[in-house]
Chains A and B, each alone.
Chain A
Amino acid sequence: MTTTYDVVVVGAGHAGVAVVSALAKAGFAGSVAVLGDEPVLPYERPPLSKEYLTDGGAAPLLRTEAFWSTDSVQLELGAQVTTVDPAAKLVHVADGRTFGYRKLVWATGADARALRVPGATADNLHSIRRLSDVDRLRRHLTARGRAVIIGGGYIGLETAAVLTGLGHQVTVVEAVDRVLARVTGPVVSRFYQQLHERHGVRIVLGETVAGIATRAGRAHGVHLGSGELLPADVVIVGVGAVPAVEVLQDAGAAGDGGLLVDDLCRTTLPDVHAIGDCALQVNRFSTSAAPVRLESVSNANHQAKVTAAHLVGAPPPVPAVPWFWSNQYDVKLQTAGLFAGHDEVVTRGEPDSGRFSVLYLARGRLLAADCVNVPADFAGARRVIGERERLDTELAADPGTPLKTAVLAHA
């Protein structure tokens, strides 16, 4: 017999768990089922490339076991959804079970992008997306080994920092001419490159990976396009994420490179919402009118709140300025806003001091800020971006002037 729930949530990551909490906080009294495809209780993902990789230990659970033992929420682990029937409002799971829904919340996140080169199936080649990925990586780490990390984004660099700290000899290979190119500007890229180089990491820029050198199914090196062979005891691939949207798209949901949702997180299928890393939504803080897909905890939380408010008939929360963070060594990067489309860059403070911010503006308005060890700038920038204020760039360049003081009076 099929049980029908008022809300079925597919995905038990940050977004899926956030919608459960947001519904409870909004006073939702209906039945909720959460289907997670992993066999473990929902956990936090950001520590996977930070503390959990460093120390292992207990999984960083998003909620205690007791949270899930209430009657109001049915958590199903190891439930891999294979098909959705939007006409009958049914979700089918690989083990044969079927769940009926009145409202469906799709929160499946994204999977690590696979590297498509010869040898990429090597046993000691790893991605860092799931708890099991890191458990497996930790088992493969030999003392003071050589690690080659493919990809100089957040995951690659955070992993480089951890492995360096654990005594490994680390090389990072990045395809474009600077690290963190997708998420930040050249000033911050240069700062992070130098930070890693000071810690002994070799950073190879503008290099492609031609293949993984293997022996008996194990990688022993990485072949670069230039012909160089980087010896490796372990290889880590951090080349981005691919939204897990195939099942819902097969059911008819629209969206190119994500699930297209409106401002209430509704997909093009009736009574089906999508939130978190898999959702493609127009963002009022983006310079582009095209929908964007944001990979961040804050976006997952915000979209969960928007969805919960809609499901209980409450007004939506005010739009939240997107934000991101990354911890590497003792350096804390906090980013507010979306920097794409900026036409002006202002640096506040001296990067060499290890404490500075970079502001990105478009037509005089603050779009985004990268704050390196300056929480005050981060908080100030979030506010200024949220209020869509114009900045006096000369004042804003002075790190001694609080950002809000640099806001221009309204004309």
Chain B
Amino acid sequence: MGRITFIDSGQAERPADFSPGESVMTAAVNNNVAGIDGECGGELSCATCHVYLPESLAALVPPPSADELEMLEVVDERQAGSRLGCQVRLVDSMDGMVVVVAGEGS
């Protein structure tokens, strides 16, 4: 078990416990983090799990696949740390990190 903190779409801090191996999207969904819908369940179809990873966290995960990059090209407010949360697996070393939810959805 680890814990990360989301800054949700209402700018509120939402701590979220995670099990190693689960995705940023499922951690958010299981903790009712506003701004993350995860509608397609991680199929890279909906882009309703857009998050910004800090550099420290981005460095710990594999880079986005070609499919994810294609979806990222069309999200609103793309930034350097933009990722689709469903494609980022959480591991123990990410404990304590902060993930910012992009401003889409609700």
* A and B interact: yes
- A contact set with B: CB distance below 8 Å: 21, 24-25, 44, 46-47, 60, 63-64, 66-67, 297-298, 301, 305, 317, 323, 325, 327, 332, 334, 375-376, 378-380
B49 at the interface (CB under 8 A from A): no
Let me know if B73 and A376 touch, CB within 8 A.
yes
Chain A to chain B: the 6 pairs with minimum beta-carbon distance, closest first: A379-B74, A24-B32, A325-B45, A25-B34, A64-B30, A44-B41
Let me know if B30 and A323 touch, CB within 8 A.
no
Whole-angstrom CA separation of A27 from B33 in the bound complex: 12
B61 at the interface (CB under 8 A from A): no
Let me know if A375 and B70 touch, CB within 8 A.
yes
Let me know if A380 and B29 touch, CB within 8 A.
no
Please list 17 pairs of residues, one from A and one from B, whose beta carbons are closer than 8 Å in the complex, sorted by A's number. Answer: A21-B29, A24-B32, A25-B34, A25-B106, A46-B40, A46-B43, A64-B26, A66-B30, A298-B46, A301-B39, A305-B106, A323-B46, A325-B45, A327-B43, A375-B44, A379-B74, A379-B75
- With a CB–CB cut-off of 8 A, which chain B residues contact A64? 26, 30
List 16 additional contacts besides A21-B32, A66-B17, A301-B37; criterion CB under 8 Å. A25-B32, A25-B106, A44-B41, A46-B40, A46-B43, A47-B41, A67-B30, A298-B39, A301-B39, A305-B106, A323-B46, A325-B40, A325-B43, A375-B74, A376-B70, A379-B75
B71 at the interface (CB under 8 A from A): yes
Which residues of chain B in 1-55 are interfacial with respect to chain A, using CB atoms and an 8 Å cutoff?
17, 26, 29-30, 32-34, 37, 39-41, 43-47
Q: Name the residue of chain A whose CB is nearest to the CB of B40.
A: A325
Given A46-B41, A47-B41, A325-B40, are A380 and B74 also a contact pair (CB < 8 Å)?
yes
Whole-angstrom CA separation of A327 from B43 in the bound complex: 9
- With a CB–CB cut-off of 8 A, which chain B residues contact A297? 39-41
- With a CB–CB cut-off of 8 A, which chain A residues contact B74? 375-376, 378-380
- With a CB–CB cut-off of 8 A, which chain B residues contact A305? 106
Classify the secondary structure of A's interface with B. helix
- With a CB–CB cut-off of 8 A, which chain B residues contact A301? 37, 39
- With a CB–CB cut-off of 8 A, which chain B residues contact A380? 74
Whole-angstrom CA separation of A64 from B23 in the bound complex: 13
Q: Name the residue of chain A whose CB is nearest to the CB of B34.
A: A25
Let me know if A375 and B37 touch, CB within 8 A.
no
Q: How many residues of B are counted as interface, with CB atoms below 8 angstroms from the partner's CB atoms?
A: 23
Let me know if A63 and B29 touch, CB within 8 A.
yes
Whole-angstrom CA separation of A301 from B34 in the bound complex: 13
Whole-angstrom CA separation of A332 from B17 in the bound complex: 32
- With a CB–CB cut-off of 8 A, which chain B residues contact A21? 29, 32
Whole-angstrom CA separation of A64 from B44 in the bound complex: 21
Whole-angstrom CA separation of A25 from B35 in the bound complex: 9
Let me know if B40 and A63 touch, CB within 8 A.
no
Let me know if A379 and B47 touch, CB within 8 A.
yes
Q: How far is the CB of A402 from chain B (nearest CB, A)?
A: 9
- With a CB–CB cut-off of 8 A, which chain A residues contact B43? 46, 325, 327
Whole-angstrom CA separation of A380 from B76 in the bound complex: 11
Whole-angstrom CA separation of A379 from B74 in the bound complex: 6
Contact of B45 among A66, A67, A334 (CB under 8 A): A334
Let me know if B106 and A317 touch, CB within 8 A.
yes
Q: How far is the CB of A408 from chain B (nearest CB, A)?
A: 21
Q: Name the residue of chain A whose CB is nearest to the CB of B106.
A: A317
- With a CB–CB cut-off of 8 A, which chain A residues contact B29? 21, 63
Whole-angstrom CA separation of A323 from B74 in the bound complex: 16
Given A317-B106, A380-B74, are A332 and B30 also a contact pair (CB < 8 Å)?
no
Whole-angstrom CA separation of A63 from B16 in the bound complex: 13
Residue among B30, B33, B47, B70 with most chain A CB within 10 A = B30
- With a CB–CB cut-off of 8 A, which chain A residues contact B33? 25
Which residues of chain B in 83-98 are interfacial with respect to chain A, using CB atoms and an 8 Å cutoff?
none
Q: How far is the CB of A293 from chain B (nearest CB, A)?
A: 19
- With a CB–CB cut-off of 8 A, which chain A residues contact B41? 44, 46-47, 60, 297
Whole-angstrom CA separation of A297 from B29 in the bound complex: 15
Whole-angstrom CA separation of A297 from B40 in the bound complex: 8
Q: Name the residue of chain A whose CB is nearest to the CB of B35.
A: A25
- With a CB–CB cut-off of 8 A, which chain B residues contact A66? 17, 30
Q: Name the residue of chain B whose CB is nearest to the CB of A376.
A: B74
- With a CB–CB cut-off of 8 A, which chain B residues contact A323? 46
Whole-angstrom CA separation of A16 from B46 in the bound complex: 20
Q: Name the residue of chain A whose CB is nearest to the CB of B70.
A: A375
Whole-angstrom CA separation of A298 from B38 in the bound complex: 10
Q: How far is the CB of A373 from chain B (nearest CB, A)?
A: 9
Whole-angstrom CA separation of A336 from B32 in the bound complex: 26
- With a CB–CB cut-off of 8 A, which chain A residues contact B39? 297-298, 301
Whole-angstrom CA separation of A305 from B106 in the bound complex: 9
- With a CB–CB cut-off of 8 A, which chain A residues contact B34? 25
Let me know if B37 and A332 touch, CB within 8 A.
no
Q: How far is the CB of A184 from chain B (nearest CB, A)?
A: 16
